[in-house]
Amino acid sequence: MKIKGYEKIGEQLYSEKLENGLTVYVMPKKGFNKSYAFFATDYGGADRRFFLSGKWLDTPAGVAHFLEHKMFDTPDGNALTRLSANGASPNAYTSTDITAYHFESIEKFEENLEILLDFVSVPYFTEESVRKEQGIIGQEIRMTEDDPNFVVYYGLMKALFAHHPLRDSVAGTIESIAEITAETLYNCHKVFYNPSNMVLCVAGDVDPEKIVEVARRVLPKEPGEIPLRDYGPEESLLPVTAYSERKMEVGLPLFLGGCKIAAVKGGEEYLRQELLADMAIQILMGRSSPLYVRLYAEGLINNNFEAAYEAAAGAAFLLFGGESKDPKKVHDAVLDEIDAAAKSGVDRTLFETTKKTLYGQLIRSLNSFSSLCHGRATAHFRGFDSLRAPEILMDFTAEDVDAFIREHLKRERFALSTVFPVSGSK
């Protein structure tokens, strides 16, 4: 196995690429009681159109999420039940560009790892079980469509993007999941759940060689073809519309502002942009920023106000939002703050404080096994080294943040999505 040390943060990373194309990463954590396994595929809700074996293939919205739900079915029952009975705490999720299966356990870790790798790599579907699941997921879709937070988020996605699958829910629609068959699931599993398109990350007090041995023994022996993905026509950096509004049963108006950002395909620049975006967000509108303090004091925002940077499936954007009696006023104040920073630069004292704070958060996250493994998996798929994040962050200057704000946070790239009370007024 390859061993890479990170002296400044006191970490080691063991890795090995198996003959089937799977890369295994192990991050030893001596003295911890629990160990954590994260088995992920580079496949999410946006990966609906792909090129394989000489032709383009289209699948219904929601297939990746549907497949994640059905993967726990086995001829002998349910893998969740087996893992739980064996002392593990298992779960799974599907996002725009990744599907992951994970568990943590104190005892029988290698045995539980074998169960995880086995059920994820050996699909079992029947038309009857697919029909049953269509009813279950259909109920989930109806519930989320009545959730104001869901509505304000996808209102923004549709305002920002003209064609990208980010416009659509990862779960799909009632109509789209009705098109899913057992054959659809088998085909998508064969394409995206091949070892060449996956990664295994483990953190804990474990033996790296034993982890690799389990993976080599349980998983398929042959590599698979990695498909090309198509997310639609190239998007403009301008939004489709600057404003979206819905009315629902809410106590206070909800809002979500967003800005399209030129995406980085991969490599260290991908990580660098993420870190710069996080710094800019905290300086401009984080809880220690003058803007946040002022808006909070004026009663225009409350503790629900949050901001974040997201990058997925070839797209990138910044978000900020929460509850407010006057969403447009908050939105305008954020844009004014960004314009001022673009003109005069960010406050240098606040920059230094923010850098130290974010560095501390990165170091603390090294003891969060879920954060560590998720970050390592994303880094693998996007071609960078997640454990270099603290080092890269500390090399940033205030001028780097100034340049990011001037280049990416342009007023014309912003859109605002709102949900107002049914009986209220703007």
User: Tell me: the pLDDT tens digits for 21-75?
Assistant: 999 999 999 999 999 999 999 999 999 999 887 889 999 999 999 999 999 999 8
Contacts of 6 (CB under 8 A, 6+ apart): 12, 13, 387, 388
Report pLDDT for 71.
96
Q: What is the pLDDT, as a whole number, of residue 426?
A: 43
pLDDT of residue 300: 98
Positive or negative: CA dihedral 188, 191, 197, 202 = positive
| Percent of the residues in the chain that have a pLDDT greater than 90, as a whole number | 95
Strand blocks (E) in 189-253: 198-204, 228-229, 243-248
Give the DSSP letter of residue 4. E
pLDDT at 51: 87
pLDDT value at 129 more than 80: yes
Mean pLDDT over residues 251-278, rounded? 97
Q: How confident is the model at residue 425 (pLDDT cuts 50, 70, 90)?
A: very low
- Architecture of domain 243-421 in this structure: 2-Layer Sandwich (3.30)
Per CATH, domain 2-229 is 3.30.830.10: yes
Residue span(s) of the chain under CATH 3.30.830.10 come to 2-229, 243-421
Catalytic residues: 68
